[in-house]
Structure 1
Amino acid sequence: MEHISDCVFCYPELDQRQSVMMENKHCYFLQLDYFQEKGVVLEGAGVIVPKRHRETVFDLTKEEWGSTYSLLQDVKNYLDRDHNPDGYNVGWNCGEVGGQSIFHAHMHVLPRYKDEGMAGKGIRYFIKGAGNERG
């Protein structure tokens, strides 16, 4: 398998704050310990990452895409059961300008709750904001 020696997604054990919550043949679902706590903002949040080092979602193989889909269904069942969110944001950041800070592809799975301050604001809310003008 292709790995980068200091990548916290290639080697999840490098970040002691994160846990592999579930996995399948090609992917992990990782959560930082903090997001497993009840009542925190982003309660239940985590990322689905390919086990092989892929820089962005555009580099995934068909098998990795299928495994990502399958694991996403399992993650949703887990989050619905253990965290009972009212909605979800699911997405990928690609490249530095796209907001990617760890250059190993990772799908954010963000449970959302009615009682949070930004309830009802989706992914595009921040991009469409007045402070985000080109030029």
Structure 2
Amino acid sequence: MKEDCIFCKIAAGEIPSKTIYEDEEFRVILDISPAVKGHALIIPKDHYANLFELPEALAVKVMILARKLAAHMKEVLQCDGFNLVQNNGKAAGQTVFHFHMHLIPRFENDGNQDRLCWNQLEVSPEEMEEICSKLKLKEE
């Protein structure tokens, strides 16, 4: 636990939250500044600043838990879709530097259809090929 981290304190139960799920490794809470009703956060109880610090085994567990909760929330809330959002670094919109994943139920006409998108960039075929070549991951 990191002393000055608000999510560490929430995960440890030191700061009250509306918890919808908890186990030994995670606490899932309703976001206090939700995009829509039901917007929740998966927070590991141990401190990891971002995805790059998160151990691989825990990353797998986050996705399994996200899938389980999204299915449950879709059934209970009768939402029309779902966003999983996870930001890493200030440039990507991360404001609390403790890994967390947003679970955002989506409803037709919820007023946020254009909030989770970006301006499309035009990239030439040559630039696309160069980027592809640089990013191609070789099997280990």
Give the equivalent residue in structure 1 for 2:131: none
Give the equivalent residue in structure 1 for 2:25: 26
User: Alignment partner for residue 128 of structure 1, among 108, 114, 119?
Assistant: 119
Q: If the length of structure 1 is used for normalisation, what is the TM-score?
A: 0.74
Q: Which has the larger radius of gyration?
A: 2
TM-superposed deviation, 1:122: 6.5
Hey, what's the Cα distance between the residues in 2 that align with 1:101 and 1:14? Answer: 20
Aligned CA distance change for structure 1 residues 32 and 117 (closer, same or farther; 3 Å): closer
Hey, what's the Cα distance between the residues in 1 that align with 2:70 and 2:95? Answer: 24
Q: Note the 1:92-103 alignment, pairs <5 A.
A: 92-103=86-97
TM-superposed deviation, 1:90: 0.9
TM-superposed deviation, 1:14: 4.4
TM-superposed deviation, 1:115: 2.5
1:75 counterpart = 2:69: yes
- RMSD of equivalent CA atoms: 2.3
How many pairs were matched up? 119
Hey, what's the Cα distance between the residues in 1 that align with 2:20 and 2:5? Answer: 18
Q: If the length of structure 2 is used for normalisation, what is the TM-score?
A: 0.72
Q: Deviations over 1:64-86 (max 9, x none)?
A: 11220221122113211221111
Give the equivalent residue in structure 2 for 1:49: 43
Give the equivalent residue in structure 1 for 2:123: none
Gaps of 5+ in 1: 36-40, 130-135
